[in-house]
Amino acid sequence: MAASLGLVSASIAAEPIQVIKPVQNVNLAQVELGKKLFFDPRLSISGFISCNSCHNLSMGGSDNLKTSIGHKWSQGPINAPTVLNSSLNLAQFWDGRAKDLKEQAGGPIANPGEMASNHTLAVDVLQSIPEYVREFQLVFGSDKVDIDKVTQAIAEFEKTLVTPNSRFDLWLLGKKDALTQEELAGYNLFKSSGCTSCHNGSAVGGNSFQKMGVVKPYKTSNKAEGLFAVTGKDADRFKFKVPTLRNVELTYPYFHDGEAETLTEAVDVMGRLQLGKKFSEKENAQIVAFLKTLTGEQPSFLMPILPPSTDKTPRSKPFD
Amino acid sequence: MAASLGLVSASIAAEPIQVIKPVQNVNLAQVELGKKLFFDPRLSISGFISCNSCHNLSMGGSDNLKTSIGHKWSQGPINAPTVLNSSLNLAQFWDGRAKDLKEQAGGPIANPGEMASNHTLAVDVLQSIPEYVREFQLVFGSDKVDIDKVTQAIAEFEKTLVTPNSRFDLWLLGKKDALTQEELAGYNLFKSSGCTSCHNGSAVGGNSFQKMGVVKPYKTSNKAEGLFAVTGKDADRFKFKVPTLRNVELTYPYFHDGEAETLTEAVDVMGRLQLGKKFSEKENAQIVAFLKTLTGEQPSFLMPILPPSTDKTPRSKPFD
């Protein structure tokens, strides 16, 4: 028994993908407050768009749109990345411009094409609602709401959005019948073809920036330039954060421009452009079968009930 | 003890408002399917708008906007009524044009200014998703999805959205310290002023159509004509379904045009225009205090996880 466990440990250690660990070490009071804020559309100027609008936790933490819909139906510039397992990313946004979840959370609130509010107004809204003020007091020991506390709470909630116990993770943990022969063949092909040079670690991605179009250039009408927008270095042009492949079955469409509608298409493009390899139909299907084993347990929680605005709360302005 | 219970029953029977009863007699399998459909934005052409967008169960089953935001940010013609306790309404929509929740549920899906899809497309989307098809099979004994089953399931879920155990209901049930003196004074004023001629029953409204502007005409730029649009009878012009006052603290702003931002304003306008009575500041505050005791237990459920689209699912078209 001890010997067999030792073997399992050795085989896990040898794999380029590691299991997703369940949530540990969160401030549960901040999580509960952050959950409300994540679902509260009053953080947007319209009163209609919440974090959950584009990172919908009923739909893999994404909106399943090519690019997102923002204030007044603005067409977003880029595909909304999933919020699931985003705590495992080396940085946030496709271009990594936010160093962590807390820094990220402030962005969309004040982005004119997304929630179109500003931090002062968002804080004023919350400060006008006694139930929120009491909760901030309880959680942070101060009834003074500020954007730092708001984004801290949202980030803490987002840390809970990990998806352990996918079939692939059960397999990694030693349940050898958790995968079918086809899925296993897909995984072996995924490794032997070089996919794991970028898609590795517990998030199967999210831990490096890589150029989109390594072997052949990627053609797109999307204007995003990736890491270049942050560093200004020519070498960083079209380098994007490698997306996590966890729950990739749920987070269609694919790529930073959302141009790949299906996993089949995404695998084909990745093979040709990043690896110089044309997967056969059978190989492609095997890899897709493997990718679908990365769907983990989705976050399960009670739909939050938001405290009502008061007569003093600045009113939402959807049509101004 | 028996005598005291008898007294309580008598006092309940004499009140114009009755308690909200907990959910009884629902088909739980339909409820679970309907909950998913209620939250599924793929019933809209954009893939962005679900039933919950305007009847947000985190916010009193409403969107807290004057009028709603629909497809491509269309400005809706009327204030979104709460879905909470809507099973108690004599008919659905402000003008009563749908006889029940099932008939109502089909409306917004196909309304160009709301979800902007159509019943054929909505059904095609669901039929392309094996997890949905299996659930329809399980729930209805047929794997053929159709709009009748879709709206039936949504309506069944909506039947569960009742809000029992408000403080006012606890008082009705005999817990005499459930209300403060001010709240009780407000309730007595609410009855003696005539508010209960329309706002009565377990939903405190929802059971009749009444003219907006009985004593004095109601001035609004809103074009809705109420029941007249359904019956074509001149006498029905500006007759609207009396809204429920259950959870009214959560369902701001008020009236069919959403023009009253606060309960104070709504009570003042109702008093003057419907009853010919100008409430003093103190009286108004008492009635508002009473109205806030009508906030019941909000529906509590796990956020549903939606089955993913497949390669065959018609794609959402947010920007076409």
At B147-176, the pLDDT tens digits run: 999 999 999 999 999 999 999 999 999 999
pLDDT bucket at B1, cuts 50 / 70 / 90: very low
Judged by DSSP in three states, A10 sits in helix
Question: Helices (DSSP H) in chain A: which residue ranges?
Answer: 2-14, 28-39, 51-54, 101-110, 119-127, 130-140, 147-159, 167-172, 181-192, 228-231, 263-275, 281-291
Evaluate whether residue B67 is within a structural domain: yes
Whether the Cβ atoms of residue B153 and residue B139 lie closer than 8 Å to each other: yes
pLDDT tens figures, A277-307: 999 999 999 999 999 999 999 999 999 999 9
Same domain for A252 and A286, yes or no, is yes
Selected catalytic residue, list B15, B114, B182, B183: B114
pLDDT range class, residue A138, cuts 50, 70, 90: very high
Q: Are residues B284 and B175 in the same domain?
A: yes
Question: Given this model, what pLDDT does residue A13 score?
Answer: 56
Between CA B283 and CA B236 the distance in angstroms is: 32
Residue A113 contacts B, CB cutoff 8 Å: no
Does some domain include residue A301? Answer: no
Q: What's the rounded Cα separation, in Å, for the pair B89 and B207?
A: 6
Residues of chain A in contact with residue B306, where contact means CB-CB under 8 angstroms, are 58-59
Count structural domains, chain A: 2
**Which pLDDT does position A168 carry in this prediction?**
98
Query: Could you tell me the two tokens for A141?
Result: 């020991």
pLDDT score recorded for residue A1: 41
Q: Are residues B201 and B249 in the same domain?
A: yes
Q: How far is A203 from chain B (nearest CA, A)?
A: 20
pLDDT of residue A258: 98
| Helix, strand, or coil (residue A18) | coil
- CA pair distance B65, B56, nearest whole angstrom: 11
Which three-class secondary structure state does DSSP give residue A226?
strand
Predicted pLDDT of residue B178: 98
**Subunit contact A308:B250, Cβ cutoff 8 A:** yes
Question: Residue B14's pLDDT band (boundaries 50, 70, 90)?
Answer: confident
Together in a domain, B191 and B147: no
Q: For residue B225, count CB atoms less than 10 angstroms from its CB and return exposed for 0-12, middle for 13-18, buried for 19 or more.
A: middle
Per-residue pLDDT, A6: 47
Q: Which of B125, B159, B193 is the last residue of a domain?
A: B159
Question: Which residue blocks in A198-310 are alpha helix, DSSP H?
Answer: 228-231, 263-275, 281-291
Class of residue B24 by CB neighbours under 10 A (exposed 0-12, middle 13-18, buried 19+): exposed
Query: B144 and B207: one domain?
Result: no
Q: What's the mean per-residue pLDDT of chain B?
A: 95
Looking at chain A, which residue has its C-alpha nearest residue B320? Answer: A75
Mean pLDDT of A130-138: 98
Helices A130-140, A28-39: crossing angle, 10 deg rounding = 150
**Tens digit of each residue's pLDDT (9 = 90 or more) over B305-315:** 999 999 999 99
| A18 occurs within a structural domain | no
Q: Is A65 on the interface with B (CB under 8 A)?
A: yes
Interface test with A, best of B38, B54, B59 (most A CBs within 10 A): B59
Structural domain span for residue A280? 167-294
Are residues A103 and A38 part of one domain?
Answer: yes
B126, B173: one domain:
no
CATH number for the domain spanning A227: value is: 1.10.760.10
Query: What pLDDT is attached to residue B136?
Result: 98
Q: Are residues A153 and A38 in the same domain?
A: yes
What tens digit of pLDDT does each residue of B46-93 get?
999 999 999 999 999 999 999 999 999 999 999 999 999 999 999 999
Binning pLDDT at 50, 70 and 90, where does residue B13 land?
A: low
Q: Which of A116, A138, A159 is the last residue of a domain?
A: A159
Residue B318 lies in a domain: no
Query: How far, in Å, CA of A27 to CA of B231, rounded?
Result: 57
Mean pLDDT of B13-37: 94
- Give the pLDDT confidence score for residue B2 in this predicted structure: 44
% residues pLDDT > 70 (chain B): 96
Task: Give me the residue label for tokens 């005291």.
Answer: B4
Q: Do residue A197 and residue A228 come from a single domain? A: yes
Q: Tell me the whole-structure pTM to 2 decimals.
A: 0.95
A309: exposed, middle or buried (Cβ count in 10 Å: 0-12, 13-18, 19+): buried
The predicted-structure confidence for B249-290, as pLDDT tens digits, reads as follows: 999 999 999 999 999 999 999 999 999 999 999 999 999 999
Query: A306 contacts in B (CB within 8 Å)?
Result: 58-59
CB within 8 Å: B303 and A301: yes
Same domain, A277 and A175: yes
Question: Are A48 and B69 in contact (CB < 8 Å)?
Answer: yes
Contact criterion met (CB < 8 Å) for B69 and A318: yes
pLDDT at A77: 96
Yes or no, beta carbons of B303 and A264 under 8 Å apart: no
Q: Taking CB atoms and an 8 Å limit, are A302 and B305 in contact across chains?
A: no
The whole-number average pLDDT for the span B7-28 is: 81
pLDDT per residue over A179-235, tens digit each? Answer: 999 999 999 999 999 999 999 999 999 999 999 999 999 999 999 999 999 999 999
Which residues in chain A are closer than 8 Å to B250, comparing Cβ atoms? 308
B231 lies in a domain?
Answer: yes
Q: Is B47 on the interface with A (CB under 8 A)?
A: yes
- Mean pLDDT for the stretch of residues A258-267: 98
Average pLDDT, chain A: 95
pLDDT tens digits, one per residue of B244-260? 999 999 999 999 999 99
The answer to whether residue A36 is domain-embedded is yes
Answer yes or no: is A186 within a domain: yes
Whether A176 and A107 map to the same domain: the answer is no
Residues A185 and A268 reside in one and the same domain: yes
Residues of A in contact with B63 (CB under 8 A): 47-48
| Contacts across the A-B interface (CB distance below 8 Å) | 97
Whether A16 maps to a domain, the answer reads no
pLDDT of residue A11: 54
